[in-house]
A and B are shown apart, each in its own frame.
Chain A
Amino acid sequence: MSKGDPLLQVTDLVKHFPIKSGILIDREVARVRAVDGVSLTLNEGETLGLVGESGCGKSTLGRAILQLTEPTSGSVRFAGEELVGRSRRELRPLRRQMQMIFQDPFASLNPRKRVGQIVGDPLELHKLAKGAELKRRVQELLERVGLQAEHYNRYPHEFSGGQRQRIGIARALALQPKLIVADEPVSALDVSVQAQIINLLEELQDEFGLAYLFVAHDLGVVRHVSDRVAVMYLGKIVESSGADALYEKPIHPYSNALLSAVPIPDPKRNAARERLVLEGDVPSPIDPPPGCSFHTRCPWATDVCKTDEPALVEYDSGHAAACHHPLNVDEAAKVRR
């Protein structure tokens, strides 16, 4: 990998889940277009926030990038190496460098294993440590994430949600990865504990130079942790930008609607601002609307939106959106595209 190359480069990644029917012959009757042509890049030590509502494909994208689910097509280059199409065996040396933190701290830890085993297994599997050395490394990790060395012999059920999430983080850190995909790492936690975990993740990033792909539905959390943010809707990225630009000047009407739907914990400001309440629900990804997939809910939609799919256009340096009727963009920029 030459210097300046992005750590992670995803191009036109597609993940479709076939829906099959029939008893003897598995006939494919439809496909769920969970991820439908996503391109993104992530630099070393950087955090890319991926936001969207349930069912928009953000979790599937995270998993497809790590090859936890096999992409239908497209390319994922990690540190200069192509991941798509590699066998499990070929992937294993690279897995050391890319780890995952899961959403549900109650389901992502094996209840029958002790904490020491949960955190130590990756080290043992990759033959990085054993015996007393293994125990010492695990205890160091536990202390680093805010637990105690004596928690080594405890079981997951003895811990609270926040503490379990710390165990999951210690496990992800064990192999000293470069990239961590964090799939809703704080959404199961209470706000006061959420703040603890977010602060921990940020400290660890500074200390180990980690890159995060931070998947979440909470726009406030994403803004806090991210350098750049990508907004997903029905399997596609509809807007991507620097973290502040998205929140100050959203271009895509969907980003605008998402931001406007987040209640502000300040009664007067909340009452004073203009709200855009979207009607209807997210359409099914089995049969997404033609043209711009947001046109069924978009207040600005016109005829062109029903037929032509808008391309992702860069309006400002590093700020791109896929929309026929972009907001917060001056006329000159509209003509240029």
Chain B
Amino acid sequence: MSPILTVKDLVVSFATEDGVVQAVGGISFELAAGEILAIVGESGCGKSVTAQTLIGLTRAPNAIIAGSVDYRGRELNGLDDDQLRHVRGEEIAMVFQDPMTSLNPVYRIGDQITEMIHAHRDVSDAEARNRAVELLRSVGIPNPERRVRDYPHEFSGGMRQRVMIAMALSLEPEVLIADEPTTALDVTIQAQILQLIEGLNHDRDLAVVLITHDLGVVAEVADRVVVMYAGQIVEDGTLDEIFYDPRHPYTWGLLGSLTRLDQPRPVRLPQIGGQPPSLLAPPPGCRFAPRCPHAFEKCAEPPPLEARTGGTHLDRCWLGPAEKTTLREVEGRICLGEPA
């Protein structure tokens, strides 16, 4: 499948009182039509800034953006507000983490959805209203005819997230960017929302960029995974490659430090020591080297992100493929190869 979204060498920096923070340090990835791509990483790794930059929500003069975001052959970086307005919602829509703060509390749900439809389409009030009811129904909100007249505070967290998704779908975009869509929700509600996102992906062929810190969520819905650390992509592969053949020590650490329900509990949880580096002055070589138990002399030079075993599985680590296979097995808790 040819990619519909191609990000190339994207750099996003912010000027702060202490100096320039490079939140995203030159990342490249592709999103294929109808695919769910997960971007995983910890706080401050640049995953949300990446998502926001894709639809032009980070901008000058605060942010300095370089590189290219290509949507179906069209460059999105550098578009002005008018041009961006046509991209947002119509081509690429976004759902945010916190459904409590992303809806306007003083407008009815129905008005918030129809406002978006009216802004983009020449339709009558009745048509827009019907469309809003249909959208709410399609994301599983009971009694949508009545619910369009309700205010956000009358909805629970899970229902608000459904409303946000309905709103994102109102102009039939091809790409949905979901930034931690289930992080603020309880697990039973999270399961409902993930099921909804998977259903939309399947039924409407909606491509999804899912930003998350939760590898469990990734395992559940993603087709492909990009792992970010300190503003860089450290590994990029298919779901199975990342979970059964992880090739970067940071990915090993992430997988190893999970408290898993499907495995016996270890006496001591494997942990990644230390803290992520400050992006004001990231380490000159491999950015993970200061925390990496396998670092060696070569790690003082920055490793490139490349396929080291052929194929499309990329990683940013100097260790050789054979060494990686031995080293990660010592770490133990990662489920490698075929599961039992």
Contacts and interface: CB of A to CB of B under 8 A. Distances in A.
Interface of A: 53-54, 160-163, 190-196, 198-199, 202, 217-221, 223-224, 247, 257-270, 275, 277-279, 281-282
A190 B42 contact: yes
A199 B156 contact: no
Contacts of B335: 266, 269
Given A190-B42, A192-B42, A219-B187, A199 B216 contact: no
Given A262-B216, A266-B219, A191 B257 contact: yes
A202 B258 CA distance: 16
A257 B42 contact: no
A54 B339 contact: no
B11 to A, nearest CB: 24
A258 B216 contact: no
B154 to A, nearest CB: 12
A194 B269 CA distance: 10
B190 A261 contact: yes
Interface residues of B, number: 46
B262 A192 contact: no
B302 interface: no
Contacts of A199: 268-269, 271
A53 B191 CA distance: 13
B277 to A, nearest CB: 11
Contacts of A265: 215-216, 218-219, 243, 255, 258, 260
B188 A269 contact: no
Contacts of A198: 259, 269
Contacts of A279: 192
Contacts of A223: 259, 261, 265
A194 B272 CA distance: 10
Contacts of B83: none
B310 interface: no
Contacts of B260: 220, 264-266
Nearest to B338: A268
B187 A202 contact: no
Nearest to A52: B186
A192 B188 contact: no
B132 to A, nearest CB: 22
A195 B270 contact: yes
B98 interface: no
